[in-house]
Amino acid sequence: MSLFWTIAVLVVLLGLTWRFLGSYIAAIYQGRVHYLEWIERPLYRALAVDPEAEQTWQRYAGALIVFSGVAILLTYLIQRIQGSLPWNPLHLGAVGPALSWNTAVSFVTNTNWQNYAGESTMSYLTQMVALTVQQFVSAAVGIAVAIALIRGFSRKGSPTIGNFWVDLVRGVLYLLLPIAFFAGLIYVGQGAVQTLAGPVTIHDALTGYTQVILRGPVGFMEAIKELGTNGGGFFNANGSHPFEDPTALTNFLSIFLMLSIPVALTYTFGKMVGGIRQGVAVLMAMAIIFAGWTAFTVYAESRPNPAVAAAHVVPQPQGNTEGKEVRFGVPLTTLYNVVSTQTSTGSVSGANDSFTPMGGFGLMSGMMLGEVTPGGDGSGLYTILLFAIITVFIGGLMIGRTPEYLGKKIQSREVKLAALGVLVMPIVVLVMTGIAVSVHAGRVAPTNSGPHAFSEILYAFTSQTNNNGSAFAGLSGNTPFYNVMGSIAMLLGRFAIIVPVLALAGALAAKSVVPAGLGTFRTDTPLFTGLLIGVILIVGGLTFFPAVSLGPIVEQLSHGRLF
Amino acid sequence: MLLHIRRSVVLSLIFLVVLGLVYPLAGTGISQLLFTHQAEGSLTPDGSTLIGQAWTGPKWFQGRPDGNVVTDGPHHVVVSGTEQLGPRSKTLEEAVAKEAKRLKEEGIVPTQDLVTYSGSLVDPDITPADAYAQVKSIARARGLPVNEVRHLVATHIHTRQLGFLGQDYVIVLELNEALARLH
């Protein structure tokens, strides 16, 4: 019953966000809001950018890639020299080269995969100026790409798709920064720590127990971690740590923040292409798949944990409590982790690795659909639009007509780019998992054994390639092998999709608009939503079913066996 | 290309200052002003109400079994985060059986949360049912009337936030501080 109200309130809040934040985002990128002009103008001057001048897709992509490259180097550098920098109360030394590299790539690609324990690896300064900064910037880059693709659809015969620098700056200033700041205050008000004072040692006079409590600038990092669909927490325990996520209310706030921008962008899309219903059709496809996966996973976690059951010592009326926190309870923890895996956030409020076999399957398979339900900030929308293009192409094949989407003819070039963008992820995941299970360095990392060990490896590459960042965290990923392989997976999963998307945006923007006729396949109807869902499920299912059967499915079916 | 690089470097440095320093430091300043207690870690003289600790012996309410497995990181820093045992892990089965045996020896009927690890390994809370399960053994160990201890639990239950978020819980530290004051 409690979960029912949680979801009901969430749906109402998201409905309002969809309408109002969605329309605000459109205004931001159409240049219709100006209240921060006094910061923007000097900034553009420092960059020598003319905010009115637009870029072709090649220049847009070039700027994006160079900027991301510089961001990776800077994030790497700060970790390497943190030992000589201030705000390092634990006197932590430089982060190792392979780990710094993996972490830099991870935060710049909006993945936030963490092969380290935050509180004992990263200084306060590194958490702030290296990691938190990228949590803003990587989200803004994702949203900029989605907006560029929307412009591709909404423009006619245009050689340009916008200005990367302007889109980036406006996304950070008008969208992410104000919301994150406000949310940060709520986190701290509820109990998240926000201090530069180091750890505190407390001697408990009641028991004689001495405890070192680690603290840091946590609450405001938490806000952008969730809003930016990043997921990288200050502490190793991530959102299950009470200093990150102190109450059920902040847990709920996190769920809301993760979903808010990806959901709102479907409204922005509809508004900018001149038909809100186009956005609704896409949103419904996201929502229906999401609802199915949530129901499945919440049910799976309401069942007993098989290993606890095997001990025959306690009944499990709450379902699977292993790895979950009391203040959230099982249903809310599960909802959070589902939202986090399906928004490409990857934060956790309980241990994914300790989910029941089918619960873990729910989390992993949600990512395998390509992070489109609703996916990460920007990345969710641009990836589902690739699926939408495949859908109209298949629809066109059925009726024997050149497909159109939003008045643009979808021809060979567009279909090739969309197919490329959709297939990069499964290919990288399956090839990398195949390599990892074939070599010794890959096989020694899982701490669990049996089919769960395979699940841990498969999950790791699924998560990193989808720029999610959550983990079946029993995998000891801080090895040269996993640091390097993971960074390649994250880079391909990000940029090998962004470049085709921008190319597509350029190709579409240059096209003229064909007026809709009698034979036009309508893309704002439930029929289209249904076809889109079908395409997403079939692509995901066909590519991943064999791999998944070796992991969670075997685990579920091995009645009574422990490993 | 050169222009892209120059712009990237300049913008990265500006973001470093605005998002990496101004944002968290302004946040810290306002937090310390408005929510001093929370921002500093919700500390009491005996610990933090948000961070679990190890309570041993029959005289205290016990929390999740987390305290028994905390691991030392480099520089002897206790690292948060759970054992990450899978749902068909033999290790998990053995740990649960061992914990249940220990509780039974102290006269406590094991409950679910008292034998399973939390996600953070510093879960400060237990459910009311977990607390009630310990009432008899604590009353016996302290020579207190059972009803008094039971009443103590009942008056320390935090109900669901806004009536629907999460579940009812008891903060073990708060409960034990109140227990100490009973004498």
Q: What is the pLDDT of residues A102-144, one digit of tens each?
A: 999 999 999 999 999 999 999 999 999 999 999 999 999 999 9
Residue A436 CB partners (closer than 8 Å, separation 6+): A442, A443, A445, A457, A460, A461, A481, A482, A485
Per-residue pLDDT for A347 more than 70?
A: yes
- Mean local confidence (pLDDT), B12-18: 98
Quick check: A356 and A522 in contact, CB under 8 A? no
Angstroms from B83 CA to nearest CA on chain A: 7
Domain that holds residue B153: 44-181
pLDDT in tens, A151-187: 999 999 999 999 999 999 999 999 999 999 999 999 9
Nearest CA in chain B to A183: B27
Number of helices (H), then strands (E), in chain B:
8, 7
Tokens 């930016």 sit on residue? A228
pLDDT in tens, A273-315: 999 999 999 999 999 999 999 999 999 999 999 999 999 999 9
- Give yes or no: residues B10 and B66 share one domain: no
pLDDT of res. B76:
53
Contacts of B5 in chain A (CB under 8 A): 66, 70
Q: Which of A 177-206 lie inside 8 A of B, CB atoms? A: 177, 180-181, 184-185, 188-197, 199-200, 202, 204-206
When CB atoms are compared, the residue of B31, B51, B88 closest to A213 is B51
Angstroms from B67 CA to nearest CA on chain A: 11
Record: contact A322-B123, CB cut-off 8 A? no
Full 3-state SS string of A345-374: CCCCCECHHHCCHHHHHHHHHHHHCCCCCC
- Give yes or no: residues B168 and B105 share one domain: yes
Of A539, A121, A387, A99, the C-alpha closest to B77 is: A121
Instruction: Specify the 3-state DSSP secondary structure of A129.
Output: helix
pLDDT in tens, A355-385: 999 999 999 999 999 999 999 999 999 999 9
pLDDT of res. A422:
96
- Give yes or no: residues B100 and B15 share one domain: no
Environment class of A539 (CB within 10 Å of its CB; exposed 0-12, middle 13-18, buried 19+): buried
pLDDT in tens, B45-87: 999 999 998 888 889 999 999 865 554 555 556 788 877 899 9
Contacts of B121 in chain A (CB under 8 A): 237
Contacts of A120 in chain B (CB under 8 A): 73-75, 77, 79
pLDDT of res. A207:
84
pLDDT of res. A118:
94
Record: contact B166-A248, CB cut-off 8 A? yes
- Give yes or no: residues B69 and B20 share one domain: no
Which sign, positive or negative, has the C-alpha torsion B135, B137, B142, B146? positive
Record: contact A351-B82, CB cut-off 8 A? yes
- DSSP-derived secondary structure for A6-67: HHHHHHHHHHHHHHHHHHHHHHHHTT---TTHHHHHHHHHHHT--TT--B-HHHHHHHHHHH
pLDDT of res. B73:
52
Mean pLDDT of chain A: 96
Half-sphere exposure of B171 (CA within 13 A, CB side): 17
Contacts of A117 in chain B (CB under 8 A): 73, 79-81
When CB atoms are compared, the residue of B20, B35, B81 closest to A129 is B20
Contacts of B30 in chain A (CB under 8 A): 185
Contacts of A308 in chain B (CB under 8 A): 92-93, 96, 112, 115-116
ipTM of the complex: 0.96
Nearest CA in chain B to A303: B87
pLDDT in tens, A424-438: 999 999 999 999 999
Contacts of B24 in chain A (CB under 8 A): 128, 132, 194, 217, 220-221
Tokens 């909404």 sit on residue? A154
Whether residue A361 lies within 8 A of chain B, CB to CB, comes out as no
Of A245, A349, A6, A13, the C-alpha closest to B162 is: A6
When CB atoms are compared, the residue of A48, A119, A165 closest to B79 is A119
Quick check: A103 and B45 in contact, CB under 8 A? no
- Mean local confidence (pLDDT), A13-36: 98
Contacts of B1 in chain A (CB under 8 A): 62, 66
Whether residue A90 lies within 8 A of chain B, CB to CB, comes out as yes
- Give yes or no: residues B130 and B176 share one domain: yes
Angstroms from A417 CA to nearest CA on chain B: 25
pLDDT of res. A547:
95
Of A441, A297, A469, the C-alpha closest to A371 is: A469
pLDDT of res. B77:
62
Task: Say what percent of chain A tops pLDDT 90.
Answer: 92
- Mean local confidence (pLDDT), A66-75: 98
pLDDT in tens, B120-174: 999 999 999 999 999 999 999 999 999 999 999 999 999 999 999 999 999 999 9
Report the number of distinct structural domains present in chain B.
2
- B172: tokens are 């073990």
pLDDT in tens, A32-62: 999 999 999 999 999 999 999 999 999 999 9
Buried-exposed string A117-152: b where 16+ CB fall within 10 A, e elsewhere: bbbbbbbbbbbbbbbbbbbbbbbbbbbbbbbbbbbb
- Give the helix ranges, DSSP H, for B18-159: 23-34, 36-39, 90-105, 112-115, 128-142, 146-154
When CB atoms are compared, the residue of B11, B124, B160 closest to A2 is B160
Record: contact A314-B7, CB cut-off 8 A? no
Q: Which of A 418-477 lie inside 8 A of B, CB atoms? A: 447-448, 450-452, 455, 472-474
d(CA A320, CA A231): 23
d(CA A463, CA A365): 10
pLDDT of res. B1:
85
- Give yes or no: residues B14 and B90 share one domain: no
- Give yes or no: residues B121 and B172 share one domain: yes
- Give yes or no: residues B17 and B92 share one domain: no
Whether residue A319 lies within 8 A of chain B, CB to CB, comes out as no
- Give yes or no: residues B27 and B72 share one domain: no
Record: contact A316-B112, CB cut-off 8 A? yes
Record: contact A212-B11, CB cut-off 8 A? no
pLDDT of res. A7:
97
Widest CA span in chain B: 80
Contacts of B164 in chain A (CB under 8 A): 2, 5-6, 9
Residue A182 CB partners (closer than 8 Å, separation 6+): none
pLDDT of res. A491:
98
Under 8 Å CB pairs connecting chains A and B tally to 380
Nearest CA in chain B to A301: B87
Domain extent listing, chain A: 379-557
- Give yes or no: residues B68 and B158 share one domain: yes
Quick check: B151 and B131 in contact, CB under 8 A? no
Record: contact B46-A205, CB cut-off 8 A? yes
Record: contact B89-A202, CB cut-off 8 A? no
Record: contact B119-A323, CB cut-off 8 A? yes
Of B52, B78, B46, the C-alpha closest to B65 is: B52
When CB atoms are compared, the residue of A305, A325, A561 closest to B123 is A325
Determine the Cα angle at A385 with ends A381 and A388, to 5°: 140
Per-residue pLDDT for A12 more than 60?
A: yes
- Give yes or no: residues B173 and B110 share one domain: yes
